[in-house]
Structure 1
């Protein structure tokens, strides 16, 4: 891990974007006490020789596009845009069951940091692929259904996608916090997989200096593609 380098997706004089692997923190937190924990901010600083400023967060078990400013000024110009249409994030995720609609919106308030006052929260989803496998994941049904979704969180609440999909009982596979442990055990025992199947796939923002639209896309992890193939789900290229 000493020579690990992050895959750079985009870089100019103001911003740099990388494909964060699952299991890596964005920055040091008070809840990560491991001595050898991997931190994207530190690795990228060592890799580029420049100080970097995270524009947003991705949960530790989530992979995908992560954008940094190369100055505090650049970061401060983009961070306020996240609640607007000037910044759009699209995730890929595998969930239990079939969605009732191919395209829909989950508009359900969520508590701040899992406690306290409710905050408005809205997630938009598109069903990319769905399939029924001839294997029982629980004792209730002889077969199991799964869907591959693209999800755009219009708001940025803590664990928003995972909590919204859990609210609709379409649990994200591999989610040990808000998911279905029976499904997680099934995937571990049947496929040897323990990863969270949530990937920050695409990121779009309006460059605050030249006003050009920037569209980024990250490579989907091999374990994600492999499990989709085993489930008969078609992964977008």
Structure 2
């Protein structure tokens, strides 16, 4: 696999991560040999440092540093909220409003019961870009399924933040096996002929940590045309 480079200079590089590709190898997916970190290292012929992560199912802009020093600078910028992150998400249902803010603390580890865990501050802005109605039946009372395309802007970078927040407002992301609805996900996958998490990191805007230049790295979603026209 050859990764698509969205931006590169002597200090950092951004790629367009495909859905289904791990950021780095992990024991949680011990059978997977391919990961963005190793692929990019081999493609560039040099060591690279990941400075943030995307869930395996999420596609889009993924940033790496080309030195440990720049990795530290970029990591601090993510932690301090100096990165403007914009995502696209296809969700179940039509939100009543056209935009809103989800302000809901999240447990540190989404794979463990929330009780007893430290609750972390978390806010996500969202706005509706498009409302769709598909001929998908998951409830015998309705002949169609309503779907919305949202832009989501997480203020922090909590694990699964957008996925958990959209579930919290009863608009889970389509294809989300952990936080979504299984029957709906299967029906949507059959309708579109594609099974994936419908979440895409569309844009990352920030100030270059060394040059001070304003950077705006964007990746158009691939394979979403049929979904948005369905």
Deviation at 1:183, TM superposition (A): 1.0
Matched-pair contact (CA < 8 Å) for 2:101–2:124: yes
SS in 2 for 1:113: coil
Aligned to 2:57: 61
Name the CA shift for 1:8/1:47 in 2 (closer, same or farther; >3 Å).
same
Identify which range, 6-15 or 123-132, moves more after superposition.
123-132
Deviation at 1:138, TM superposition (A): 1.9
1:32 to 2:55 alignment = no
Aligned to 1:225: 225
Separation (CA, whole Å) in 2 of partners of 1:56 and 1:163: 18
Q: Deviations over 1:138-167 (max 9, x none)?
A: 224232211000101101111111110011
Aligned to 2:48: 52
Matched-pair contact (CA < 8 Å) for 2:25–2:34: no
1:96 to 2:97 alignment = no
Unaligned 5+ segments in structure 2 are: none
Residue of structure 2 aligned with 1:81, choices 77, 91, 116:
77
Deviation at 1:30, TM superposition (A): 2.1
Separation (CA, whole Å) in 1 of partners of 2:17 and 2:132: 28
Deviation at 1:134, TM superposition (A): 4.5
Matched-pair contact (CA < 8 Å) for 2:136–2:188: no
Matched-pair contact (CA < 8 Å) for 1:9–1:18: yes
Q: Superposition pairs for residues 161-180 of structure 1, below 5 Å?
A: 161-180=162-181
Aligned to 1:119: 120
Name the CA shift for 1:118/1:169 in 2 (closer, same or farther; >3 Å).
same
TM-score of the pair, normalised by structure 1:
0.91
Separation (CA, whole Å) in 1 of partners of 2:97 and 2:80: 25
Matched-pair contact (CA < 8 Å) for 2:7–2:217: yes
Unaligned 5+ segments in structure 1 are: 231-237
- For these two proteins, the number of residue pairs brought into alignment is 225
Identify which range, 108-117 or 63-72, moves more after superposition.
108-117
Deviation at 1:100, TM superposition (A): 2.0
Matched-pair contact (CA < 8 Å) for 1:83–1:154: no
Identify which range, 18-27 or 137-146, moves more after superposition.
137-146
Identify which range, 168-177 or 188-197, moves more after superposition.
188-197
SS in 2 for 1:25: coil
Identify which range, 62-71 or 125-134, moves more after superposition.
125-134
Deviation at 1:82, TM superposition (A): 1.3
Q: Deviations over 1:111-150 (max 9, x none)?
A: 1112322111111111100023354332242322110001
Q: Superposition pairs for residues 4-43 of structure 1, below 5 Å?
A: 4-34=1-31, 36-43=32-39
Deviation at 1:84, TM superposition (A): 3.6
Separation (CA, whole Å) in 1 of partners of 2:18 and 2:146: 27
Separation (CA, whole Å) in 2 of partners of 1:65 and 1:87: 12
Separation (CA, whole Å) in 2 of partners of 1:218 and 1:63: 9
